[in-house]
Structure 1
Amino acid sequence: MKSISRLLFITLFGLASGFSNSALAHYSCDVDLKYGVVVNDDQLRVLKEYVTLYQINHQNQLFVRGEWLKLNDEQAALVSQFSSGLHSVVPQVTLLATTGIDLAAETVQQMFLSLLGSNHDSYEKLNDVMDKMKKRVRRKFQYARSHYYLGPTAGEGLDDEVEVDLVVPLSKTLTTSIGSILTTLGAMDSDKLAVDQTEMAMINQRIAHYAANTDGDGPPQGTTLPEKARWYCDYFGKLDALEQQMQKSIPQLGGMDLIYLKPHKD
């Protein structure tokens, strides 16, 4: 019975993902965070656990381990570009992750109901997995009093919390790292996502508001949630390249990689 249940969930998630073509079937966002990052209107902080490794005030004042660094024009420009990019994208990704995981969970649940019905013995376990996942996403992608927080990748497993046979096909895809969330949403078929036009319009409006308020970048307003996820993944890749330039120019930042690209597995 357990092997049948596992097979059902592997098939179920493949259907729920609704891959629209072979390119998306192999889509993977290989960007993740090594540390936590929190932004507000005037400040950006990069955190290792509860310790601030470095912070940028007003997008041009850099403090590394509490020490203010006097920057030349080239260094200041790199710091400003990097800070501006994160100030723009962190609130947007926070919204996309918390909204997107709800839509992904609802899509999986609806697909389950249409295939097997609510009386199937695994339906309650599926709901338990999805509830745990949504809670983890909200711990890692947080908003409070104009502060937006993205957590690091470490500690993603669900296997220790729920029945292994049930969660294996889900835990490999629905982990709560930025890369995993963007992979899950980026590979979905927008036609199969459980979202209506009014809700999508509100999401687009809020994302556009975040981008406008920071004078930063954002995905084109008419794009779908999967297209937005892929846009954010590409944007983090650009910020990673900018971070490497900043570290070369400012030696004190060496070894403090916030953004990193995981080796791609075909």
Structure 2
Amino acid sequence: MRALLLGLLFCSAGVFARECNMGFGYGLLISPAEIRIMDNNQTMMQINHDTQLFIQGEWLELTEEETALVTEYSQGLRKFVPEIVGIAVDGVELGLSTMERMLSGVGSRSQQAEWNDLIRETTFQLLSRFVRSGDHFYLAPQSLNELEHFLNGELKPQLNNLARHSFGAVWEALRDALQHTDANFEQTDPQDWDAVGHLVDRINSGLDEKASLLEEKTALFCQRLIELNEIESQLQQSLPALMAYDVVVEK
């Protein structure tokens, strides 16, 4: 039965990009020494050094077998969460850094400050569910399907709108400045607007690559989550205090 399940998992990454509902019921914060399982910014569970388990701050004394399970579970999360967060964060940073580079030095100082504030605000909004800071990673509660929707259904239109808004303002500023000095400005205006379309195309191309990467890896990610869920079930059977906290879930 297990062999059949794994065979189905690998038969089509595209299918599982739509059908794999495995995910996390809690937020996860991964650091070199700790893994925190969080609910509304409160730590419900914590694993220290891949061996020590805490429930709401209370240390659980583990048997040798339980410690081995905790270590396997912890190391599985350490391999999975940073990779997922990296795909999402790279997608956001790809689009925003492209815009920042092309906006650099254009317009007045006040206009640049306004555009930079808008980009920072957009970055904060988009990355509220995914955080990467050095060797610290945070992933909010969500499924693989929700991650795919973030890349295709949320991120792309928001970055496209931001690019058009920002560069629309850029070309308006350039028009105001150049109309007084260049009689032929109107002849080059369509080329300027072509640059906006070129920027949007570059952003979309990069995001499509990230979405394709996620789609290629979804079957593997789904398998990892199923295996983590099995380990979690074994721990819950051995440690009843864990029954109240389903971290890996089918959403």
Query: TM-score, normalising length from structure 1?
Result: 0.53
The runs of 5 or more residues in structure 2 that have no matched partner are 1-11, 97-119, 153-203
What residue in structure 1 maps to residue 23 of structure 2? 32
The runs of 5 or more residues in structure 1 that have no matched partner are 1-20, 107-130, 154-176, 187-192, 204-222
What residue in structure 2 maps to residue 256 of structure 1? 245
Q: Are the counterparts in 2 of residues 29 and 183 from structure 1 also a CA contact under 8 Å? A: no
What residue in structure 2 maps to residue 181 of structure 1? 147
Tell me, yes or no, if structure 1 residue 151 matches structure 2 residue 117. no
- How far the C-alpha of 1:29 sits from its partner, in A, is 2.3
Q: What is the correspondence of 1:1-266 to structure 2 with a 5 Å cutoff?
A: 24=15, 27-100=18-91, 136-153=125-142, 178-182=144-148, 194-195=205-206, 224-262=213-251
Helix, strand or coil for the counterpart of 1:139?
coil
Tell me which protein shows more helix as a share of its residues: 2
Q: Are the counterparts in 1 of residues 27 and 138 from structure 2 also a CA contact under 8 Å? A: yes
- How far the C-alpha of 1:229 sits from its partner, in A, is 3.2
> How far apart in 2 are the matches of 1:101 and 1:49?
24
> How far apart in 2 are the matches of 1:248 and 1:63?
16
Per-residue CA distance 1:162-188 (angstroms, 9 max, x = gap) = xxxxxxxxxxxxxxx5432146779xx
Q: Are the counterparts in 1 of residues 13 and 218 from structure 2 also a CA contact under 8 Å? A: no
Q: Are the counterparts in 1 of residues 35 and 47 from structure 2 also a CA contact under 8 Å? A: yes
Backbone CA RMSD of aligned residues: 3.7
- How far the C-alpha of 1:144 sits from its partner, in A, is 2.0
- How far the C-alpha of 1:43 sits from its partner, in A, is 0.6
Query: TM-score, normalising length from structure 2?
Result: 0.55
What amino acid is the match of 2:89? T
Tell me the matched-pair count: 167
> How far apart in 1 are the matches of 2:77 and 2:13?
32
Based on CA coordinates, which of the two structures has the bigger radius of gyration? 2
Deviates further, 242-251 or 23-32: 23-32
- How far the C-alpha of 1:254 sits from its partner, in A, is 1.2
Amino-acid identity (%): 30
> How far apart in 1 are the matches of 2:248 and 2:235?
12
